[in-house]
Amino acid sequence: MTEITVHYQVNRPEFHLNVKFTANGTGVTALFGQSGSGKTTLLRCIAGLEQADEGIFIFNGEPWQNTDINLPAHKRPIGYVFQEANLFPHLSVEKNLQYGFKRRKASEKSIGYDDAIHLVGINSLLKRLPSQLSGGQRQRVAIARALLTNPQLLLMDEPLASLDIQSKAEILPYLEQLNQQLDIPVFYVSHSPDEVLRIADDIVLLKDGHVEATGHLNDVLTRTDLPLAKLEEASAAVTGVVSKHNEEFHLTYVKIQGGTVAVSKLNLPIGHKARIRISAKDVSLALTPAQNTSITNAFPVKIASITPTVDPAKVLIKLDMGGDYFLSQITKLSAHQLELTVGKIVYAQIKSVALMR
Amino acid sequence: MLLDFLTTLDTTPIVLSLKLAVITTVLLLIIATPLAWWLTGSSRRTKSIATAVATLPLVLPPSVLGFYLLLLLGTDGPLGQLSQFLGFTSLAFTFQGLVIASIIYSFPFALQPIQNAFESMGRKPIEAAATLGASPWDRFFTVALPIARPGILTAAVLSFAHTIGEFGVILMIGGNIPGETKVLSIAIYDHVESIEYDQAHALSLLMIVFSFVVLFLLYFLNSKSPLATAKTPAHHD
């Protein structure tokens, strides 16, 4: 039974939080929302750092909090990564790592000390003080420190938000690796669609202190009634398997449900899971298979829905490619000229596809 | 000749002053640190009231303080009564009385630096410690105290210095009993009154040198703390 039941209610003069959802006890669940949506408060309630007026938290059948039980923060088997690393300034990197490691029972330890250090690549930093590290290094130490408490659940509060673009790029691969190598469920708070697209498996959309939607990442990304699809940079994240490499033209082929997509070559073994990103802006539609075009990726798809966008000149078309969904943003004029209707089979031409992992 | 002079100098007041300052400082740290910690987490109202009370000795003239302490510690005062009930003498004009008076007199100097240190540390390191499995006591001793160390050291130095320099309150409640309440500041005052400037000089200079050495050592040791290096530029590689 891998299931996490979450129900919190916080009533403050300026702020109300009332959320209730069930999350998968595996993979990465993004708690996504704008600032003020309550996502950080929710995470702090889950960690026991903040007291809710009403709280129920059941982790794979084990209650951490309900009407009778309320474990204090230090008794909850969590790892917490704060937005700004929050390392102990008076302790070296090594002592910071050992702080949590020493305080867990030896029998519970499943992640080795050296493994955690290797995982985030901080071997050379152990003797330093936090003040002698860059922002990205500090955050990597914080991630290792959280892992070393041997958490059953990892809580991450916008771990990349306070970093510059370069440091973000430095950490993202580590985060992805971590999620693939360790079998720890993660709640990942973020307001960045980019991060969520790369890291999350599931998503909980929060708005003004309540849950707007929950579900698998791509299901929520392509729901045209939700804010993510309405973004200028609306994208789909489709999961597939690496099927073939083409050395001559430097391409990697990823097999998804309705076809095979070519992307710039990436060093992944055949059979490896891969996630591709398809931006709505990069998808154009045609009634016949295009001839003499520079576009490599073109597939027959079925129109699942047609929705107006904020821009009155454009429409958002949801496309069904053998069970995988993605979006296309085209002009209303084109939609009219092509006589697009729900259920019609058209050819989607995807100008660019990014392989994310 | 100087040596001869120094050997004839009565050093009892110096020893007494040091003893008083050490005992007072130790007791003050033991009292003020948990109080500061508690105040850091309490409401603004509680904090304002407690801080105002604790700061009173700073603004009151020593004579006012001394007067009320005399009433409190004397034969008819509540603390004096308690002391007599327990089989001791009343506390006025005793060394124990001086310790109590010094603790009250120097209290703001101990409380404020520690409280400032806790406040500027904020909740974040404590929360990090909690998520790493540390109980409240554990967090206090392994995170709060070490991070607040510079503030605690400042509190110790200020309490010590302030107790050594205490004069008015001691005169009011301790009088001038050699070996019991005749501390350094009183002894110097006596020497000056009796126009024994050599002795006054000797005691004063000794005190200046000693105070400098103590302050230097404390600040020097403090500068070796990792927190003191926190201001150096971040190291990138």
Testing the interface with A: which of B123, B131, B140 to mutate, by most A Cβ within 10 A?
B131
Residues B207-221 have a mean pLDDT of 81
What percent of chain A lies above the pLDDT cut of 90? 61
Do residue A141 and residue A204 come from a single domain?
Answer: yes
Instruction: From chain B, pick out residues whose CB is under 8 angstroms from the CB of A82.
Output: 124, 127-128
Contact A91/B227, CB-based, under 8 Å?
no
Is A47 near chain B, with CB under 8 Å? yes
Contact A103/B133, CB-based, under 8 Å?
yes
Question: Residue B106's pLDDT is what?
Answer: 93
Q: State how far residue A68 is from chain B, nearest Cα, in angstroms.
A: 21
Contact B226/A91, CB-based, under 8 Å?
yes
Whole-angstrom distance, CA of residue A321 vs CA of residue A304: 10
In the predicted model, is pLDDT for residue B228 greater than 80? Answer: no
In the predicted model, is pLDDT for residue B30 greater than 70? Answer: yes
Question: Which of the four pLDDT bands, split at 50, 70 and 90, describes residue A119?
Answer: confident
Q: Give the residue from A221, A249, A275 where a domain finishes.
A: A221
Q: State how far residue A48 is from chain B, nearest Cα, in angstroms.
A: 9
What is the domain-level CATH number for residue A307? 2.40.50.100
Residue A57 lies inside a defined structural domain of this protein: yes
Residue A230 lies inside a defined structural domain of this protein: no
Do residue A26 and residue A56 come from a single domain?
Answer: yes
Do residue A351 and residue A212 come from a single domain?
Answer: no
Do residue A175 and residue A296 come from a single domain?
Answer: no
Residue A70 lies inside a defined structural domain of this protein: yes
Question: Residue B235's pLDDT is what?
Answer: 37
Residue A38 lies inside a defined structural domain of this protein: yes
- Name the strand (E) or helix (H) holding A347: strand A345-350
Q: Which tokens hold the place of A250?
A: 């430097």
Residue B226 is nearest to which of A49, A90, A155, comparing CB atoms? A90
Sketch the domain layout of chain B as residue ranges: 22-116+154-182
Q: Containing domain of residue A18, as a range?
A: 3-221
User: Which ranges in chain A belong to alpha helices (H)?
Assistant: 39-47, 93-102, 113-119, 135-147, 165-181, 193-199, 217-221, 227-230, 332-337
Question: Residue B116's pLDDT is what?
Answer: 93
Do residue A143 and residue A38 come from a single domain?
Answer: yes
Is A131 near chain B, with CB under 8 Å? yes
Q: Give the residue from A171, A188, A221 where a domain finishes.
A: A221
Residue A129 is nearest to which of B130, B146, B229, comparing CB atoms? B229
Task: Give the A:B interface size as CB pairs under 8 Å.
Answer: 89
Which fold would CATH assign to domain B22-116+154-182?
MetI-like fold (1.10.3720)
Do residue A192 and residue A62 come from a single domain?
Answer: yes
Residue A226 lies inside a defined structural domain of this protein: no
pLDDT digits (tens, 9 = 90+) for A221-278: 999 999 888 888 899 999 999 999 999 999 999 999 888 888 888 888 888 888 999 9
What is the domain-level CATH number for residue A88? 3.40.50.300
pLDDT digits (tens, 9 = 90+) for A181-197: 888 999 999 999 989 99
Mean pLDDT of all residues belonging to chain A: 90
Residue A100 is nearest to which of B133, B143, B149, comparing CB atoms? B133
Question: Residue A188's pLDDT is what?
Answer: 95
pLDDT digits (tens, 9 = 90+) for A44-86: 999 999 999 999 999 999 999 999 999 999 999 999 999 999 9
Do residue A165 and residue A72 come from a single domain?
Answer: yes
Whole-angstrom distance, CA of residue A339 vs CA of residue A89: 64
In the predicted model, is pLDDT for residue B237 greater than 70? Answer: no
- Name the strand (E) or helix (H) holding B209: helix B197-222
Do residue A24 and residue A141 come from a single domain?
Answer: yes
Model ipTM value? 0.87
Measure the CA angle with vertex A227, ends A223 and A233; round to 5°. 90
Tokens 């700073």, residue located: B58
Whole-angstrom distance, CA of residue A129 vs CA of residue B150: 17
In the predicted model, is pLDDT for residue A157 greater than 90? Answer: yes
Do residue A307 and residue A184 come from a single domain?
Answer: no
Do residue A121 and residue A215 come from a single domain?
Answer: yes
Residue B131 is nearest to which of A80, A87, A132, comparing CB atoms? A80
Question: Residue A232's pLDDT is what?
Answer: 82
Residues A312-329 have a mean pLDDT of 92
Contact A74/B131, CB-based, under 8 Å?
yes
Mean pLDDT check: name the lowest of B18-22, B174-178, B195-199.
B174-178
- Comparing alpha-carbon positions, the chain B residue that sits nearest to A145 is B132
Do residue A138 and residue A255 come from a single domain?
Answer: no
Do residue A144 and residue A285 come from a single domain?
Answer: no
Mean pLDDT check: name the lowest of A132-136, A179-183, A231-235, B151-155.
A179-183
pLDDT digits (tens, 9 = 90+) for B90-108: 777 888 889 999 999 999 9
Residue A131 is nearest to which of B131, B142, B232, comparing CB atoms? B232
Tokens 């309440």, residue located: B181
